[in-house]
Structure 1
């Protein structure tokens, strides 16, 4: 008997199965108003991540040109006299009010060294945070890759990030394959606030490298002859990314590259390539960056897949312009999102590299096409995933794990130094069986999706 308490809600109770809103912020509530206290702090790699990084953060409009302090981390609370760097500041007005977004670039650092840093607000500072610069090429590396987070970040992405940290406690670099938020519904700033809540310590203690997705853009003049894609206002302010890419269709550089130990990571903008006519220019730029790569490994991060696992998507311009470059330069990993399923495949030539992976970390789940089931292995539906990638001693080990930590996919790329290139070795042990969507439709009645 329950005394003074409501009866427990059964899984069959209609209220328990109602669609969940995209954010946990009730209508009319201001949860993420900027203040004099620094928030949304995120560290990103410099072009040479062994000797620099950048930090972006947010305050209210009372703070202009604040400081970042950085010092070699030590065991004593007396960290010594820190170096001070003045940030640049830009203004953004959104549903939560007027914010100032700040950027500080830190250079001249020692490789493989743990630094403490903090950022300034209005008469206050953030906590001291710690971040290690990239080591030399022989140092082991642990990194994480997430497909789209996008929807219900505070509610359902949070658990994926925390589980990922359990499996990659020494993570140094985090790659996001675009569509970090959904946007376009008047809650953009709330969604970004929840994304930072979900990613938590990852954003300050590891270097974050995101690719822009189509949801980082919005449709201007929608349903008119002047309709066009425009990069959202948050993107260029919220991440202090390397300034070594080429301008997208709106004049903002949404491509970039950096070296982290023995890996060259190149980020391309699939939305700009497909919708704004930059595919050929990006391909030329990508070819130059890969041709000059002195590193053993190469990774390309892009939102839209070259081989889509969802029916009705083909991404022709990516295949026409960028895919030949990736194949010719023998990129090791191509990490993608967009299609809210899991799928992995190799090169059409039959070579062991490149390896093309599509994954999803967030709540929105699509259905696989029959073509994907025939050409990709493994594939998966209705599953939140993260990927742990470890590189050491000429081996790159890739693991895809579910939100509960179960192993879904695994392989190794082995570099023996042979002229024939790297070998791919499938790792079958402890993988769980393929997952498929058992629902006929979503709670909103959509049969083309598995979950919303």
Structure 2
């Protein structure tokens, strides 16, 4: 339960708390931390110092520990006062969008599609918790009309009340500079620019980063700055795991994106998860909210001969089929390929966590031919079979 300046503003899994005695147990035991979000009215705040109090209950006498993490705490700007009758609010100069006091979108990032010469994916997080819809306005930087494309919500994670969004824009021209802004009416990002890949093979530079996780608010921004100074013409960058230290820590994610702010909004960012992205978030809910990569991950039909193991009515076949379906969902935004100016980039997911790799309601199977005998090895076979297909079909080889 949470109080601000003596006012109770939230309760989570607190149905057993009666408040009639000093010592009470509440909630239920969970293997992983449970998350929730809350919103408090501005009326409970005061000028100067505000006090937040938290009551955290064990669920039973024999409970060994309790865990609490307030991963994000933000304030939103109150709406402007109503304009009195007969008064005319100031207007923006001709041809310019009126200024707004609404919070702007954050974590704006470009992720590649499978065809970055003619399409582009954009992701961001809303500037305000009340925003339920998002969109992108885009047009050629040289001038002309713009078009607006609605975005898809990507979820709220880690008790952060703000919605994530992503949108893919098709029908772009190769080797062309575009301008765009994302958000919602009245709350859009600043205009940014990017250039699509060329249609054929041509030389380019790219940057590669690993293990940014430590010093995200100190060292990381300087690393990006120095990389940009060394390779100012780089077209994209790779981030090969352990972007952050704790998967569900919103402060760390904010710092990672802040270090990349100008770069992420103007060139493609390819990311692949490491063990730190899986720790505490084994099904990668945070990762998939922040990034939207090509949806060409392995499926039961893109893994060659391995896919035949799911054919038939045997217990082993039914179990393989269940694993393939689950693994394809797990692989989304983590196992993918994109072709950029004659180079095929491929990312793989080295996760070997048996619990996250096992689907709910897995069919029973007994025998050495069952994939459940060695789930980790079976998962790697799944990725390897897909990789063989992707490399065989590489148009740039």
Number of the residue aligned with 2:113 = 46
Report the counterpart of residue 343 of structure 2 in structure 1: 263
Equivalent position SS for 1:151: coil
Aligned partners of 1:212, 1:65: CA distance in 2, in Å?
28
User: Contact conserved, 2:107 with 2:254, CA < 8 A, in 1?
Assistant: yes
**Structure 1 residue aligned with 2:237:** 174
1:141 alignment partner in structure 2? 204
Question: How far did 1:30 drift?
Answer: 5.5
Counterparts of 1:133 and 1:33 in 2: how far apart (Å)? 37
CA contact (8 A) 1:71 1:115 kept: yes
Q: Does 1:58 align with 2:125?
A: yes
2:221 aligned partner = 158
Instruction: Tell whether the 8 Å contact from 2:154 to 2:288 is kept in structure 1 after alignment.
Output: no
Q: Per-residue deviation at 1:47?
A: 0.3
Residues 28, 235 of structure 1: CA spacing in aligned structure 2 closer, same or farther, 3 A cutoff? closer
Matches for 1:2-401 after TM superposition, within 5 Å:
36-59=103-126, 60-74=128-142, 79-95=143-159, 97-121=160-184, 123-183=186-246, 188-219=249-280, 230-246=282-298, 249=327, 251-252=329-330, 253=332, 254-272=334-352, 276=357, 277=376, 278-296=379-397
Change (3 A) 1:136 1:273: farther
CA distance in 1, matches of 2:341, 2:353: 29
Answer 1 or 2: which has greater strand percent.
1
Equivalent-residue separation in structure 1 for 2:144 and 2:168 (angstroms) = 21
The alpha-carbon deviation at position 264 of structure 1 amounts to 0.3
SS in 2 for 1:99: coil
1:140 is displaced (CA, Å) by 2.3
1:136 Cα deviation from its structure 2 partner:
3.2
Q: Is the 8 A contact 2:282 2:353 kept in 1?
A: no
Greater helix fraction, Structure 1 or Structure 2: 2
Query: How many Å separate the matches in 1 of 2:165 and 2:104?
Result: 13
Post-superposition shift, 1:294? 1.0
In 2: Cα distance, 1:273 partner to 1:189 partner: 23
Once residues 388 and 328 of structure 2 are traced to their aligned partners in structure 1, the CA distance between those partners, rounded to angstroms, is 22
Q: Is the 8 A contact 2:293 2:336 kept in 1?
A: yes
> Using a 3 Å threshold, how does the CA distance of structure 1 residues 211 and 197 change in structure 2: closer, same or farther?
same
Q: Does the Cα contact within 8 Å between 1:36 and 1:62 map onto a contact in 2?
A: no
* Separation in structure 2 between the aligned mates of residue 273 and residue 295 of structure 1, nearest angstrom: 34
Structure 2 CA distance, aligned partners of 1:114 and 1:89? 26
Partner Cα separation in structure 2 for residue 287 and residue 157 of structure 1:
35
TM-score by length of 1: 0.53
Alpha-carbon distance between aligned partners in 1 of 2:329 and 2:71, rounded to the nearest angstrom: 35
How many residues get paired? 254
- Report how far residue 201 of structure 1 moved: 1.2
Residues of 1 paired with 2:115 and 2:70: CA distance? 44
What is the TM-score with the length of structure 2 in the denominator? 0.60
3-state SS in 2 of match to 1:161: helix
Quick one: distance in 1 between partners of 2:353 and 2:119? 29
Distance in 2 between the 1:236 and 1:107 partners? 21
Structure 1 CA distance for aligned equivalents of residues 218 and 154 of structure 2 = 30
Tell me the CA shift for residue 249 of structure 1: 4.6
5+ long unaligned stretches in structure 2:
1-68, 77-101, 299-324, 358-375
Query: Residue by residue, what CA displacement relative to the aligned partner does 1:5-42 show, whole Å, maximum 9, x if unpaired?
Result: xxxxxxxxxxxxxxxxxxxxxx9895766874111000
**2:123 and 2:137 mapped to 1: Cα distance?**
13
2:345 aligns to what SS in structure 1?
strand
Alpha-carbon displacement from aligned partner over 1:43-91 (angstroms, at most 9, x marks no partner): 01110111111000001332122210111112xxxx4321111001133
**Does the aligned pair in 2 maintain the 1:91–1:98 contact within 8 Å?**
no
2:371 is matched with which residue?
A: none
- Per-residue deviation at 1:124? 2.1
Mark the CA change 1:182 to 1:248 in structure 2 (over 3 Å): closer, same or farther. Answer: farther
The structure having more radius of gyration, on CA atoms, is 2
Can you give the 5+ residue segments of structure 1 that lack an aligned partner in the other structure?
1-26, 220-228, 297-452
Offset at 1:121? 3.3
